[in-house]
Each structure stands twice: as C-alpha cells, then as structure tokens.
Structure 1
Amino acid sequence: MGMTVHELTYYPVKGCAGTSVARARAGAAGLEHDRVFMVVDAVDGSFRSQRTTPAMAAVRPEVREGGRELRLDADGAGELVLEVDPAGKRIPVSLFGTAVGDAVDQGDPAAEWFSEVLGTPSRLVRVREGFDRDGWGETPGKVNFGDAHALLIASLASLDGLNARIEEAGGSPVPMNRFRPNIVLAGCGAPHDEDLMRRIRAGSAEFAHSVRAMRCAVPMVDQATGLRAGPEPVRTLATYRREPLYDNKVSFGLKAAVLREGVLSVGDAVEAERYGNGAPDPGRPAS
C-alpha cells in the first residue's frame, strides 16, 4: 500500500487548538479556515504564540456557519460565541517583529475573553479582505497568519522514528499534535521521507516544497493542557535533526506551499516527486 492522507487539521486561531476534519479544501494560503484569526497584544499588535504563552494550546476554537461564526472555549472560562466581523475596525499587527499590515479587530467581548484566559491584555483579529502575504523558501507561496508557510506536513514514520529514540533513552513518547501539522501522511517509506518531497499530490490539490520545518519551543507544550511538558521531543531531536544551514535549529516535518488549489480527504492516495529525481535537495549546500 502506498502513501495516504492519515489526518487533516486546521487551526482557526493561530496558536490555539486545531480542528481535525475528514475533508478539507486547500486554498492559496492553506487549508480553509487555517490561521485566519490571531491573538495580538492589545497595545502594540504583536502576535501571541505558544512560545511565550503556552496556555493558548488549551483554547478550543470552532468555526461555524461556514466561517461566519466562531465559538471559543477553554476550561474554567466558559464559552464565547462570536459573529465574525470580516470588514470592521482595522488595527496594525505584526509577526516576529515584522509588520504585516492591518487586520480586522473582532471586538471587545473577544478581547476581554482572551485577556482573561491568557492573563494579559489581548485582542482577537481576523485577516482582512485582500490580505496578501508571501511565504519564503524554494516555493514561497502565500500564507495567512501562519508563521511563514501555508502548510505543515509530517509523517507517521517520522513520529514513530522519533518516539523510538525517546523511549530508548527512557522517555515517554509524544503525540503528533505536539508538532501541529496540517497534513499527516501514512505509508512513508522511512522517517523524514517528507523532507525529500518536491511535489505532493493528494485529491485534486498539489503542494510544493518550501523548506524543512524548523522547530522552536512549541513541541514541548502539552496541547491538551497548555502546560510546558519538555524537554522532549526537542531534546531527542537535537541528537539527530540539527540543521547547520538553519543556525543549527532542529527540524521535524515539511513546510509547503499550495501549488494547485483543490480538495483532499483522509484516505486519499498521495503521490510525491522526490529529490533525487534529478532535483537537488534544498537542505544541502549547492556544490
């Protein structure tokens, strides 16, 4: 049996919990509804992340009515149901210190809810109509409020290989959600085979290699509780997944751009053109 789509997940609010679905539409900037919303500092508009605010992981957003309504829920905070405002007041926002233009503020109730849950003054924003942000890498593509790329793709083989190493060292295995992928692949021939995938076709969609996914502190956050649970898996990744070309950061998974928009489903066959078919591996210096 060849490769298949094992799981599809979109993350409505950047940094918060994801929604797993059986079928998803891939648009130019990623899976539908993925990272369309973002929590920002109420004063300067800089984005909030699990890197510094791990409690975001335990916030469970739910997109309703085709994106016209957003339900927010977190233990101890109760739920809030918002009518999404796609064209209201705009405020300037930034990611990693870089301004990305204006976003649509979603109002005071959402701001108060997130401020209470996260314990710091925050506001919720949505991508504005006509938002156009470039990714980077071999195929840059477009991206909403994701860090820098439309999709994160990882394989079960990579997770199994990592967990075998963690357990061999006496640790406990980690679930795939620590890496917050959009697409999980089953049936890869070897761990990290996705690193070498140049073009990936699933359903009627096609994706292209942007860059290997460099990992930060987020994989050390328990995605169910919003609490740090490190040092794994980063400690073990550091023993065999250092990337000299990327400041010795560790990698897990593939960042990809949407080359052809379309629909894909769990169970779909996946076809991939790999590096080695005449194309260089972008993770290696040019000779």
Structure 2
Amino acid sequence: MARIARLTYYPVKSCAGIDVPSAEVTETGLAHDRVFQVITPDGDILTQRPHPIMATVRPRVLGDRLALSAPGREDVVIAIRRDGPRRPVSMLTWHGEGVRQDPRADEWFSDLLGRPAELIGVTPDHDRVSGGEFPGQAAFGDAHALLLASESSLDSLNERIAAAQGEPVPMDRFRPNIVISGWAEPHREDEARELEVGTAKLGYAERCVRCTVPMVDQETGAKAGPEPIRTLATYRRDPGGGVVFGMKAAVLRPGQVAVGDEVIVHSWAGPSPSTAAAEPPFTATARRPAESV
C-alpha cells in the first residue's frame, strides 16, 4: 500500500525546505511552499543553479513573520508583507509581479550572494496557470504546484550509483514536496494520472526534467557532482532532452494531507519508456529544465 512518507515545503524558492507531519494543500501546492522568491533588481529570479549557497538558507514561517538563517550569519526576522509595493518578476515563460518585502531581507540576501538581491512574496491576486496533462495553478515554483517522488525510485537510482562506485544521494537532492513509500516498482509516480492523498486530489502534469540542482549538497550548499545526473543520464532520458526524476502535479482539489496517509491512484497511464535500462549516452541539449527548485 502506497503512503506518504515525507512532506516538505520550501518557503523561499531555492532555499532549504521544512519537513512537516501534515499540511494544507492549496491550489498552488502545499501551504507556504515557494511563496517567496529572491530576484535581481531587474526582476530575474535567483536560484541554486548559479548560487548553490542558497541551499543553506533556512527560512521559517512564524505566523505573520518570516525568519531567515544561514551558517555564520546573523538571523533576520521580518514581518510578512501580504500586499504593498510591487516588483515585476520573470521566470521561464511567466511574467508577473511580487510584493516587496523588508529591505533588511534584501540586504541579508545581497550580502549572502555577493550581488544586489531583493525578496518578494506572492501577491493577493497571484494568477499563474501551469501547463501539462492536468493544468493548474503555481506559486513561485519553476512550473507546477507539487513535485512527487517515490522511495523506490531513489533506491533504484542509488543501486545504480553504487554499482558505478559512486556515493548514494539523499532524497533532498531532488527537493520533492511529497515522498511516497510502498511502491515496489521504481518510477510508478510517472504513470499515476489522478490520485488522492489525504482529502486532496492531484493530477499528473509532467515528469520533472532535472537541471544541475540535484548535484548540489543541500546541507553544505556546495556542488557535489557529477551524481546523480551522471547515472540518471544512463537510463532516465527525456525525449526532448535532459534527464528526469519525479512527477510534477496540479492540484485538482485542495485538502489536507499527513505523513502516513494512503495514496490512492484512480487512473494510470502505461509504463513510461524512460524506465528502459538501455539508453544512449547523455549529451547536452538546448532545452531548459523546468524544475521546482
């Protein structure tokens, strides 16, 4: 029987996550998930891809306050501004606005990253339609409301990494919101189309094409490649380019979820061709991954 093994939300995009025993599922994903984002003064997003040190930032939502901490730096606590002065923001193909937060947070992130940075939050009228097989809404995640991954998928990957004399990787390298246990076969999440978790209902959007973030040690904020991308490239190739791990989902019905809840799949697709063991060697492509960092 498949069950929820872990729930994680990431208050600030590309920063550390918070594991919780239960969570509210909103139309844009887990409550508080990626509702803040760090941007340049021009409105471009700043992520772990060029700034892996962001993984060491530990954000905490404390009611109407947001606390930020990182090793060797003084904590800052700000009042969350739900609305107010806005800044334009651009991410992938979406262009919208965010609410400027406290200048102290801007200064804190600017010092951490060594470049001008600003912290913004979602606006009360935030509207960002996500695509895929089941469309939905998304906050500041790269493309969709939720990222799901199974323990069996990670176990299979780590067996392959170990066979190649590499070091196994933890699940946090992939930054999922929901980790599922109980599926004997790896990558069953790729085949689930409509599923219930707790009182929420989710719909498959697409498989997650991975960028370089899984090669960042999420504890130290240091690049620790080439795994797991090197091994994934040997058997988890996306036809459009890149490698895949995990499934991105839309919220079809908000609700409540908790660790231990049964995962009930109401409809399945056929087996994914990406599970085939023999695939061509990895080559770089021009396709830009749309990954929830």
User: Which TM-score bucket, shorter chain as reference?
Assistant: over 0.9
Query: Quick one: percent identity of the two aligned structures?
Result: 50
Unmatched segments (≥5 aa) in structure 1: none
| CA deviation map 1:110-165 (0-9, x unaligned) | 10000001111100000001101011110111000000000000000000000000
SS of equivalent to 2:136: coil
Alpha-carbon deviation of 1:102? Answer: 1.5
Judged with a 3 Å threshold, the aligned counterparts in structure 2 of structure 1 residues 119 and 30 are, in CA distance, closer, same or farther, namely: same
Give the aligned partner of residue 194 of structure 2.
199
Task: Give the whole-Å Cα distance in 2 for the aligned partners of 1:60 and 1:275.
Answer: 37
Contact persistence 1:207–1:256 (CA under 8 A): yes
TM-fit CA distance, 1:282: 8.2
> Would you say the 8 A contact 2:147–2:248 is kept in 1?
yes
Q: Give the match for residue 245 of structure 2.
A: 252
Please state how far the C-alpha of 1:275 moved relative to its aligned partner: 2.5
State whether structure 2 residue 63 is matched by structure 1 residue 48. Answer: no
The TM-score with structure 2 as length reference comes to: 0.91
Equivalent-residue separation in structure 2 for 1:251 and 1:275 (angstroms): 19
Equivalent AA in structure 1 for residue 21 of structure 2:
A
- Secondary structure of the corresponding residue to residue 219 of structure 1: helix
Choose from 73, 80, 84 the match for 1:84.
Answer: 80
Residues 178-207 of structure 1, C-alpha deviations (whole Å, 9 max, x = no match): 000000000012010110001111110010
Within-5 A mapping of 1:103-142: 103-142=98-137
TM-score by length of 1: 0.93
2:32 partner letter? H
- SS of 2:234's partner is helix
RMSD: 1.3
Q: Distance in 1 between matches of 2:273 and 2:204?
A: 11
Q: Within 5 Å, which residues of 2 pair with 1:57-96?
A: 57-65=55-63, 68-96=64-92
1:168 to 128, 148, 163: 163
Aligned-residue offset at 1:99:
4.7
The equivalences for 1:144-223 within 5 A come to 144-223=139-218
Supply the distance in 2 between the matched residues of 1:164 and 1:282 (Cα, whole angstroms). Answer: 20
| 1:211–1:282 CA contact under 8 A, matched in 2 | no
The match for 1:39 is 38
Look up the match of 1:24.
23
Distance in 1, Cα, partners of 2:101 & 2:61: 14
Q: Distance in 2 between matches of 1:283 and 1:142?
A: 28
Question: Is this contact kept in 1: 2:194–2:268, CA < 8 A?
Answer: no
Report the AA paired with residue 86 of structure 2.
R
Do the aligned partners of residues 190 and 282 (structure 1) sit closer, same or farther apart at CA in structure 2, a change above 3 Å counting?
closer
Distance 2:144 2:96 in 1: 17
Cα pair 1:212 1:283 within 8 Å, conserved: no
| 1:273 Cα offset (Å) | 3.0
C-alpha separation in 1, matches of 2:228 and 2:151: 15
User: Which structure 1 residue ranges, 4+ long, deviate > 2 Å from structure 2?
Assistant: 273-276, 280-284
In 1, the alpha carbon distance for the partners of 2:267 and 2:199 equals: 19
What residue is the counterpart of 2:232 in the other structure? 237
The answer to whether the 8 A contact 2:5-2:180 is kept is: yes
- Where 1:116 maps in the other structure, the secondary structure is helix
Q: CA deviation at 1:100?
A: 2.3
Larger CA deviation: 26-35 vs 101-110: 101-110
Mapped contact 2:137–2:145 kept (Cα < 8 A)? yes
